[in-house]
Amino acid sequence: MASVPKPAHMASLLLLLVTLVTVPLYHHLSSPSSSSYKTHLSNKRVLLCGIGYEVGEQLAYQLAEQGAKLVIFYRADGRQKTLLNLQRTFELTDDVIQIIQPLMMARTDTKAQEIKDTALKMGSPQVDIFPLDFGNVSSAQVVVDAAIHLLGGLDYVVLNHADIPRGFFMKSLKLQDVDFLLRTFTVNVYSYMEIALKALPHLEKTSGHMFVTSSVLGEVPQSGLSVFSSTKHALNGFFYTLQEELRTRGSGVSLTVGSLGVMKSLELKAVMDVGESMMGGISECAKGIMDSMITKPRTFTYPILQPNFARFMWSFFSS
């Protein structure tokens, strides 16, 4: 005898269908016109943290095209981690490491310089870009102080940096290591909190906006990504609560939390294994973030299909 779907399951299915129809329509109708981008972003002062995984880089270019002034911080701590991994894997000697290290530093710095040069060519009147170890919480003050010194104030803050550790938690001694967990939470959560809190007084002066990049994994768990998912759950808990505090205070500062799913990026494809048709485009995601900086929704979900399907499957099959 066929089982009868539970009312809660039917409600979840109906919610998914309504979401898949109404959300794209809402984004289409509320998306700023091409002329309003310049109005809202020309000469605006943007602090952008994190240009890895391609989305941040594309966002920098799109903001530059609208004439925004940019101060960018990118993760530099990954270079040292990569060197340590190479040394352990291939048992490299210190002499070999001394040869490789400057090459890795130069490669990363060259890429950063290319991003700066491209952003300037695309129309930004000012682009400053710096490496930063986001695993050091005290760096937060440096980030905000540098942005204020270089830009004279802040209109927008985008927090987009992340460390994405992979592996099954119960099988990995590395993932269970307290120091590793602390550093990952520092990069993915504590640095976000510190930079946001340091930037808020400056955003209050301009009724500015903050965009926080989170993930659908902050709502829906996935085996093999327990640590990353944990950090995104923590990020959501803090920043959705901060939204409420800002609203209660009558603050002029607005805040959007981005619930991002899988993108067509070599880095991000490895995070969740889904079909190509369910993946989002890097450029389109960056444009959605830029739209959110203008329309200021509480949540921005991209792509539409995969995150909402993941929410539905978790709700429907989790019990």
Token pair in block for residue 13: 């299915």
Q: What confidence score (pLDDT) does residue 267 get?
A: 56
Which amino acid would we find at residue 152? G
Does this model's pTM top 0.85? no
Q: What confidence score (pLDDT) does residue 29 get?
A: 47
Q: What confidence score (pLDDT) does residue 87 get?
A: 47
Token pair in block for residue 240: 């959705």
Q: What is the 3-state secondary structure (H, E, C) of 1-29?
A: CCCCCCHHHHHHHHHHHHHHHHHHHHHHH
Contact by Cβ (8 Å): 302, 288: yes
CA 11 to CA 5: how far, in whole Å? Answer: 10
Cis-peptide into 303, omega within 30 deg: yes
For residue 249, what are the contacts with CB-CB under 8 A and spacing of at least 6?
Answer: none
Cα angle: 220, vertex 226, 227; to 5 degrees: 120
Q: What confidence score (pLDDT) does residue 264 get?
A: 77
Q: What confidence score (pLDDT) does residue 86 get?
A: 45
**CA 124, chain centre distance (Å):** 22
Q: What confidence score (pLDDT) does residue 100 get?
A: 44
Q: At what angle do helices 77-90 and 94-121 cross, to 10 degrees?
A: 150
Which amino acid would we find at residue 147? A
CA 56 to CA 284: how far, in whole Å? Answer: 12
Contacts for 24-29 with beta carbons within 8 Å, 24 or more apart? 24/304, 27/288, 27/291, 27/304
Q: What confidence score (pLDDT) does residue 22 get?
A: 53
CA 170 to CA 176: how far, in whole Å? Answer: 8
- The rounded average pLDDT for each run of 10 residues, N- to C-terminus, in the chain (319 residues) is 51 53 50 72 97 90 97 74 47 54 55 93 96 84 91 97 89 90 95 96 98 93 90 97 97 96 66 65 94 95 78 67
